[in-house]
Structure 1
Amino acid sequence: MSEIGPAGRVLPARPGDPSHIGPYRIVGRLGAGGMGTVHAGVAPDGLRVAVKVVHAEQAQDPEFRARFRREVELSSRVTGPHLVPLLAADPDAPTPWLSTAYVPGPTLNQHVSAQGPLTEGSLYAFAAATAQALAAIHAAGVVHRDVKPQNVLLTSTGPRVLDFGIAHAVDGTSVTRTGMMTGTPGWISPEQYRQGTAGPASDVFTWAALVAYAATGRLPFGAGAPDVVAFRVMSGEADLDGMPAALRAIVERALSQAPGDRPTAAQAAQECGVLLAAQVTQVVSTGAMPATGADMVAAVWDMPTADGPVWHVPPERGRSRKKQIIGAVVLAAGLVGGVAGGVAALLPKDTGTKTHASSTDSASSATTGSGRPSASTAKSDASAKQQAGSGGSATAASWSQARAAQGTGEHDMARSILHDEGVVAQEMSDGVDFSPESVRFHETRREVYLSYRLTSDEAAKMYAETQIAKSMCLSARDAVLRLHPDLPYSKFVMVNDESGRDPEVTWQDDFISNAQCRSAADDGSGQGTGGASQGWKPDKDGLAQAMVPSTDRTEFRVADGAATKIIAGTNGMRDTLGTDRVVGNDEIKVGYDPGNSAMYVWSDYGQWNQSQTESWADMAAGKACRALVNERESAGSAWPYTRYAVAEIIGNGYRMVRWGTAKTSADCPA
Structure 2
Amino acid sequence: MSENGSGGRVQPARPGDPTRIGPYRIVGRLGAGGMGTVHAGVTSDGMRVAVKVVHPEHAQDPEFRARFRREVELSSRVTGPHLVPLLAADPDAPTPWLATAYVPGPTLNQHVSARGPLDEGSLYAFAAATAQALAAIHAAGVVHRDVKPQNVLLTPSGPRVLDFGIAHAADTTSVTRTGVMTGTPGWISPEQYRQGTAGPAGDVFAWGALVAYAATGRLPFGAGAPDVVAFRVMSGEADVDGVPAALRGVVEKALSKEPADRPSAAEAARECAVRLASEATQVGSAGSGPATAVDMVAAVWDVPAGDDPSWHLTADRKRPRKRLVGGLVLAAGVIGGLAGGVAALLPGNTGADTHTSSAAASASSSSSAGSAQPSTKTVKSGAAAKQRAASGDEATAQSWGQARAAQGAGEHDVARAVLHDEGVLAQELSDGAEFSPEAVRFHESRREVYLSYTLSSDEQGAIYAETEIARNMCLTARDVVLRLHPDLRYRRYVMVKEEPGQDPEVTWQDDFVTNAKCQVAADDGTGQDTDGNAQDWAPDEDGLGQAMIPSTDGDEIRVADHLARRLIQRSNSMSQVLGTDRVLGNAELKVGFDPGNSVMYVWSDYAPWTEGEAESWAAMAAGEACRALVTQRESAGDVWPYARYAVAQIGGNHYLMMRWGNATTRAACPA
- TM-score when scaled to structure 2? 0.56
Aligned to 1:178, the other structure's residue is in SS state coil
Determine the structure 1 residue equivalent to 2:242. Answer: 242
The 3 A distance-change label for structure 1 pair 337 and 218 is farther
How many pairs align? Answer: 435
Listed as ranges, the matches of 1:290-301 within 5 Å are: 290-301=290-301
Q: Tell me, yes or no, if structure 1 residue 437 matches structure 2 residue 619.
A: no
Listed as ranges, the matches of 1:417-428 within 5 Å are: none
Residue deviations 1:410-446, cap 9 Å, x none?
x9xx79x99xxx9xx99xxx9999764343779xxxx
1:176 counterpart letter in structure 2: T
Aligned to 1:103, the other structure's residue is in SS state coil
Determine the structure 2 residue equivalent to 1:471. Answer: 653
Listed as ranges, the matches of 1:163-562 within 5 Å are: 163-319=163-319, 329=410, 341-342=423-424, 345=427, 349-350=469-470, 356=494, 397-399=576-578, 401-404=580-583, 436-439=603-606, 471=653, 496=658
The 3 A distance-change label for structure 1 pair 451 and 320 is closer
The 3 A distance-change label for structure 1 pair 297 and 324 is closer
Contact 2:82–2:159, Cα closer than 8 Å, also in 1: yes
Aligned to 1:282, the other structure's residue is in SS state helix
Contact 2:89–2:98, Cα closer than 8 Å, also in 1: yes
1:350 counterpart letter in structure 2: A
How far 1:54 sits from its partner (Å)?
1.2
1:349 counterpart letter in structure 2: I
How far 1:115 sits from its partner (Å)?
0.5
Contact 2:606–2:651, Cα closer than 8 Å, also in 1: no
- Quote the Cα distance in structure 2 between the aligned partners of 1:165 and 1:269: 24
Aligned to 1:220, the other structure's residue is in SS state coil
How far 1:61 sits from its partner (Å)?
1.1
- Quote the Cα distance in structure 2 between the aligned partners of 1:331 and 1:182: 42
Q: Tell me, yes or no, if structure 1 residue 107 matches structure 2 residue 107.
A: yes
- Quote the Cα distance in structure 2 between the aligned partners of 1:284 and 1:160: 23
- Quote the Cα distance in structure 1 between the aligned partners of 2:33 and 2:16: 17
Residue deviations 1:105-136, cap 9 Å, x none?
00000001110111110011100000000001
Determine the structure 2 residue equivalent to 1:32. Answer: 32
Determine the structure 2 residue equivalent to 1:78. Answer: 78
How far 1:142 sits from its partner (Å)?
0.7
2:469 counterpart letter in structure 1: K
Contact 1:125–1:158, Cα closer than 8 Å, also in 2: yes
- Quote the Cα distance in structure 1 between the aligned partners of 2:157 and 2:55: 33
- Quote the Cα distance in structure 2 between the aligned partners of 1:298 and 1:454: 54
2:286 counterpart letter in structure 1: T
Identity %: 65
- Quote the Cα distance in structure 2 between the aligned partners of 1:374 and 1:279: 60
Aligned to 1:312, the other structure's residue is in SS state coil
Q: Tell me, yes or no, if structure 1 residue 134 matches structure 2 residue 134.
A: yes
How far 1:248 sits from its partner (Å)?
1.4
Contact 1:13–1:346, Cα closer than 8 Å, also in 2: no
- Quote the Cα distance in structure 2 between the aligned partners of 1:155 and 1:260: 33
1:183 counterpart letter in structure 2: G
Aligned to 2:7, the other structure's residue is in SS state helix
Contact 1:4–1:107, Cα closer than 8 Å, also in 2: no
The 3 A distance-change label for structure 1 pair 337 and 21 is farther
Residue deviations 1:71-122, cap 9 Å, x none?
1011001111100000000000111110000010000000011101111100
- Quote the Cα distance in structure 2 between the aligned partners of 1:469 and 1:440: 5
Aligned to 2:284, the other structure's residue is in SS state coil
- Quote the Cα distance in structure 1 between the aligned partners of 2:311 and 2:79: 27
Determine the structure 2 residue equivalent to 1:65. Answer: 65
- Quote the Cα distance in structure 1 between the aligned partners of 2:139 and 2:660: 48
- Quote the Cα distance in structure 1 between the aligned partners of 2:495 and 2:100: 47
How far 1:178 sits from its partner (Å)?
2.5
For the aligned residue pairs, the C-alpha RMSD in angstroms reads 4.7
Contact 2:53–2:95, Cα closer than 8 Å, also in 1: yes
1:47 counterpart letter in structure 2: M
- Quote the Cα distance in structure 2 between the aligned partners of 1:234 and 1:42: 45
The 3 A distance-change label for structure 1 pair 307 and 346 is closer
Gaps in structure 1 of 5+ consecutive residues: 365-371, 377-394, 456-463, 474-493, 505-670
- TM-score when scaled to structure 1? 0.56
- Quote the Cα distance in structure 2 between the aligned partners of 1:251 and 1:437: 33
Residue deviations 1:287-335, cap 9 Å, x none?
2210111110100000223432232222234526986996975668x98
2:13 counterpart letter in structure 1: A
1:276 counterpart letter in structure 2: L
Contact 1:19–1:335, Cα closer than 8 Å, also in 2: no
Contact 2:109–2:149, Cα closer than 8 Å, also in 1: yes
How far 1:19 sits from its partner (Å)?
2.0
- Quote the Cα distance in structure 2 between the aligned partners of 1:207 and 1:262: 11
The 3 A distance-change label for structure 1 pair 115 and 432 is farther
How far 1:262 sits from its partner (Å)?
0.3
Greater RCO between the two (CA within 8 Å, min separation 6)? Answer: 1
- Quote the Cα distance in structure 2 between the aligned partners of 1:433 and 1:496: 14
Residue deviations 1:219-263, cap 9 Å, x none?
111112211111111114311111112211111100111111100
The 3 A distance-change label for structure 1 pair 147 and 435 is farther
Contact 1:38–1:50, Cα closer than 8 Å, also in 2: yes
